[in-house]
Amino acid sequence: MFARVAARVSRACAMNDSLVASGAVDTKLMWQVPRLALALQCSIPPLDAPRFANFDYGEFVEGAAHAYAVLNEVVYRKQTDSDAELLSKTCTPQIARVLAHTANELHAGDAPMTLEASTLARRSLHACVADVFASERERDLEHTLRGYDDELHALDATEREKRIGDIATELFELRKAREESDSTEEVVSAEFDVLFESHEKMAIDIAGQSLVVEKKQLSTWRFLSPLDEPEWRVCKIF
């Protein structure tokens, strides 16, 4: 037992050094203890499964930064059919709906807002979540409860309460069957949180004049891995 713990801590320390060296963890955004905790998170099952053996955390954070810049630009301009298609491919349905609604609000009325400039000052892998599911059905039900799709949003209060109860019952049965089964087949779903600090400049058109507003914004975006596919999708924005 002690040997396993020592090996886990040793790997966590090595991963922490790797994260810092890659630039995936910004030392100005995170203290030493959270960085070590993050390394520990990244070195526990199922994130130490073969699937993640060669996972490049630094490259992932840079890819997430690209997604941030693209989606931010999409939100601050009038929506087109190609924008809607981009949102559907890069976001879960619920987040795609939220971003599209935000874009419509920004361009509604007499004072439309546009993005003049956006600069990512810092970016950092902030946390991670990993789940092991016995089937894609179990994974999909759990994600519905988390609000990663629009199924519950489309229901009224009574229907939503009933649907949540049905999902909870089905999940209980699926997990009970998994515990009683001798099968070792597992499906892994991973989520990574990336913390961004951005400097943004917006222009608001009022009475024929453009008012420029600058702000610094901190936000955390959660990216969801669609099982064995290489693509990642935005599923939450905090």
- In 102-232, at which residue ranges do the beta strands (DSSP E only) sit? 113-133, 187-206, 209-224
134 close to 178: Cβ distance less than 8 angstroms: yes
User: Which residues constitute the domain of residue 160?
Assistant: 135-185
- Whether residue 106 is found in the same domain as residue 216: yes
Q: What's the domain count of the chain?
A: 2
Distance of alpha carbon 218 from alpha carbon 193, whole angstroms: 13
- Whether residue 129 is found in the same domain as residue 41: yes
- Whether residue 215 is found in the same domain as residue 104: yes
- Whether residue 77 is found in the same domain as residue 90: yes
Tens-binned pLDDT, residue by residue, of the chain (238 aa): 566 667 777 777 777 777 777 777 777 766 666 777 777 777 777 787 777 778 888 888 999 999 999 998 888 887 788 888 899 889 998 999 999 888 888 877 666 778 888 889 888 888 888 888 878 888 889 989 988 888 898 899 999 999 999 999 999 998 888 888 776 666 778 889 999 999 988 888 777 777 888 889 889 999 988 666 667 899 999 8
- Whether residue 194 is found in the same domain as residue 156: no
What's 190's domain CATH number?
3.10.450
- Whether residue 108 is found in the same domain as residue 21: yes
- Whether residue 174 is found in the same domain as residue 161: yes
H/E segment holding residue 236: strand 233-237
193 close to 220: Cβ distance less than 8 angstroms: yes
227 DSSP assignment: T
Burial 105-133 (b: 16+ CB within 10 A, else e): ebbeeeeebbbeebeeeebbbbbbebeeb
Of 185, 206, 227, which residue sits at a domain end? Answer: 185
- Whether residue 157 is found in the same domain as residue 208: no
- Whether residue 31 is found in the same domain as residue 139: no
183 DSSP assignment: -
- Whether residue 82 is found in the same domain as residue 119: yes
